[in-house]
Amino acid sequence: MLTYQETVWDESPHLGSYTLANFRKIPQIQEMPEEKKFEMEVVGNVLPFKANNYVIEQLIDWGDIPNDPMFVLTFPQKGMLKPHHYAKMASVLESGGDRKEISEAANEIRLKLNPHPAGQMELNVPQLKDGTKLYGMQHKYKETCLFFPSQSQTCHAYCSFCFRWPQFVGMDEMKFAMKEGEQLVQYVQEHPEISDILFTGGDPMIMSARMFGAYVDTLLEAKIPNLRTIRIGTKSLSYWPYKFLTDKDADEMLDIFDRITQSGLQVAIMAHFNHINEMTTPALKDAIQAVRRTGAQIRTQSPLLAHINDDAEMWSRMWHLQVQMGCIPYYMFVVRDTGAQHYFGVPLVRAHNIFRTAYMKTSGLGRTVRGPSMSATPGKVMIEGTPTINGQRVMQLRFLQGRNPDWVQRPFFAKYDEDAIWLDDLKPVFEDSFFFDQEMKEKYSLS
């Protein structure tokens, strides 16, 4: 098993940020052939790219390029665009297209990549009782509402597979964002069924402690009786652990977690780790300890990704290490039907096999993890297995979360299909339609 180095990090970290505009200045990139750099430029003009020194110097193994998982996770890869989309952008760049031509070609391609999967824009926008629409929130599952502070619509670095990519390329004018913490308070007060607020983005831990603290204080001062947990969906532990160590407001951020815990609410960090290589630096180990000392709990989640982590052995080692470090494995997701799904997607049957193989090798303390789970329009759907029933091989599925809570925990069956990569690919077996199809059509029809 891999354990973290028992050394104390002493170099003072420096945050150099890289985007498409300056990625050629990265020393390790300079050494690459021009052809590779051009490939990154082609893809990077369509899908977002951002990296920082920590990722480049401490997470990527430059001796293992192009296969290193952290490299694939952060740098644009040729295969992320379908060949005809790649050819289109390549020809615009080769013919010396200006900014306008590049951005037109980019937007045309982006619109073909299903920028708003699972009806996020249309179906989940909540309203106050006075009719005000809250574009900075989503409320899909009864107990938990998502909050997108307008200051957190970016991340420390971008994951190449990210399903929130349209927010980072300026496609979503609203960016789901809203400034007013008061509206959040009002909404949660109007909905006594909500127990959890999930701060998300981008990455809410891109916010300064001052800004995040302002939202938190508004919530705490309102003393909302139904509110029990403040969740924070973040990749900062992985991409910028110094957020909790040496940033000038690191202690102030930890104090905020403390304050929430002291007030009787739980802080649940929904930490995003895609690969065990993100968990091996001394800074990460120290950051986890600093966060846990505040009373916050850390749960971990990641999608299963071809070219990055489609390896059961790695998952079981990662879950072991997470448990050892006091984190709680929570979700393995299936790559969403947006952006570069054709590149990162793993078929559902194979995803289940990888999950099961990794789960089998995990102690009960790590078996808090659930998956593989699809965040689809009707809900979070898990693949439970591929049993043979009356001589017929089928896929057995179950809702972990449902748009209608009554759907949760009801097993249902689909035709066995080794190529299916999303719920939409599955066909009912034993019945003419899935049990939720009719209600989905009646209540949540998008047209």
Ligand X SMILES: *Cc1c(COP(=O)(O)O)cnc(C)c1O
From the list ligand SF4, ligand X, none, which binds 140 (C-beta under 5 to 8 Å, kind-based)?
ligand X
Q: Which residue among 115, 126, 202, 204 contacts ligand SF4 (CB under 6 A)?
A: 202
Select from 139-147, 169-177, 272-280, 436-444 the region that touches ligand X (CB under 6 A).
Answer: 139-147
**Structural contact between residues 182 and 135, judged by C-beta atoms closer than 8 angstroms:** no
The Cα–Cα gap between 257 and 212 comes to 10
Q: Distance between terminal CA atoms of the chain?
A: 51
CB closer to ligand SF4 out of 200 and 294 = 200
**Structural contact between residues 57 and 51, judged by C-beta atoms closer than 8 angstroms:** no
From the list ligand SF4, ligand X, none, which binds 141 (C-beta under 5 to 8 Å, kind-based)?
ligand X
The Cα–Cα gap between 345 and 334 comes to 7
* Beta carbon of residue 243, minimum distance to ligand SF4 (angstroms, whole number): 13
CB closer to ligand SF4 out of 80 and 426 = 80
- Is there binding between residue 77 and ligand X (CB under 6 A)? no
- Is there binding between residue 146 and ligand X (CB under 6 A)? yes
277: exposed, middle or buried (C-beta count within 10 Å: 0-12, 13-18, 19+)? Answer: buried
Both tokens assigned to 289: 């300890």
- Is there binding between residue 203 and ligand SF4 (CB under 6 A)? yes
- Is there binding between residue 272 and ligand SF4 (CB under 6 A)? yes
CB closer to ligand SF4 out of 159 and 267 = 159
Amino acid identity, position 361: K
- Is there binding between residue 165 and ligand X (CB under 6 A)? no
- Is there binding between residue 235 and ligand SF4 (CB under 6 A)? yes
The CA-based dihedral angle spanning residues 39, 43, 48, 52, taken in that order and rounded to the nearest 10 degrees = -10
- Is there binding between residue 375 and ligand X (CB under 6 A)? yes
The Cα–Cα gap between 94 and 91 comes to 5
Q: Is the dihedral of CA 181, 187, 190, 196 positive or negative?
A: negative
CB closer to ligand X out of 121 and 400 = 400
Q: List residues near ligand X by CB under 6 A.
A: 138, 140-141, 144, 146, 198, 375, 380, 400-401
Q: List residues near ligand SF4 by CB under 6 A.
A: 155, 158-159, 162, 164, 202-203, 235, 272
